Amino acid sequence: MAKENFEEFAYTAILGLILENRFKPGDFLFETELANSLGLSRTPVRHALGQLVAEGFLEKKKKKGCYIPDVSARDAQQVFFLRENIEGMAAASAARFATDNDIAFLKALVEKEANPDGTLSKLDVLEINKAFHLGIARFSGNRYLEHYCRHIFWRSNVYVFFYDNYYREHIDYSKLKTPVQHARVVAAIENRSDEKAGNLMKFHIRSTYEMLFMKLQHLA
């Protein structure tokens, strides 16, 4: 990873650590420790932590530090409820404003995701998924909506990774039907059916949520 700008480097590095579940909920992220492990001074690390707090990935106690927010069934419900609606809006908006190039980009993703030869690694799938959701956010043509989409997408991914790590064996990925659902959304966007695109996206996110949390009621 190039370090041309230490603040950005620190930001992506720390966000990476969070998304990889390198910290448990409640753990504090110490400026000095992170600075040492990243080979920087505290200054850019501190700046990056400030961004992450502002964006809701971390919480902060004054004069105490930044810590990983609690994960809970209630929090997950809030996150996914919001993501459903926000990304639903984005998909509907994209159906109105996406250019032909944008749509071609989405179609290429969907095609790759179909994975007829079975050559995609799990990491590839995650990468395509990210490109799909953030792509639609971008194509909504509303920079504020895009901003919210990015945020809630990453915030929900904390749960995706979290449950993935702890309950790997209980999740049947083949039942997620993600590629098919993505393809349907893209088709609606291509047909410029904004309402339909929004509803399909909402359905997609809800079904992801239900699949992840179906067997985990005990966390409530």
Q: Which residues bind DNA (CB under 7 A)?
A: 5-7, 28-32, 40-44, 46-47, 60-66
The strand pair at 65-67 and 59-61 is best described as antiparallel
Report, in Å, the least distance between residue 43 CB and its own copies: 9
What are the residue ranges of helices labelled H in 98-139?
100-114, 122-139
Cβ proximity to DNA, 17 vs 176, nearer residue: 17
- Rounded distance between C-alpha atoms, residue 126 and residue 112, angstroms: 12
- Rounded distance between C-alpha atoms, residue 75 and residue 13, angstroms: 25
What distance, in Å, lies between the first and last C-alpha atoms of the chain?
Answer: 39
Cβ proximity to DNA, 58 vs 183, nearer residue: 58
Cβ proximity to its own copies, 26 vs 56, nearer residue: 56
Report, in Å, the least distance between residue 151 CB and its own copies: 8
54 makes contact, choosing from DNA, its own copies, none, with CB < 5 to 8 Å by partner type, with its own copies
Report, in Å, the least distance between residue 57 CB and its own copies: 11
Report, in Å, the least distance between residue 62 CB and its own copies: 7
Beta carbons within 8 Å of 214's beta carbon, 6+ residues apart? none
36 makes contact, choosing from DNA, its own copies, none, with CB < 5 to 8 Å by partner type, with none
Cβ proximity to its own copies, 62 vs 168, nearer residue: 62
185 makes contact, choosing from its own copies, DNA, none, with CB < 5 to 8 Å by partner type, with none
**Footprint on this chain of its own copies (rule: CB under 8 A):** 5, 46-47, 50-51, 54-56, 62, 78-79, 81-82, 85, 89, 141-145, 147-148, 152, 155
Beta carbons within 8 Å of 5's beta carbon, 6+ residues apart? none
Report, in Å, the least distance between residue 11 CB and its own copies: 10
55 makes contact, choosing from DNA, its own copies, none, with CB < 5 to 8 Å by partner type, with its own copies
21 makes contact, choosing from DNA, its own copies, none, with CB < 5 to 8 Å by partner type, with none
Cβ proximity to DNA, 44 vs 88, nearer residue: 44
CB 97 within 8 A of CB 140: yes
- Rounded distance between C-alpha atoms, residue 147 and residue 100, angstroms: 23
- Rounded distance between C-alpha atoms, residue 58 and residue 203, angstroms: 28
10, 31, 126 from 4: Cα distances, Å = 11, 20, 27
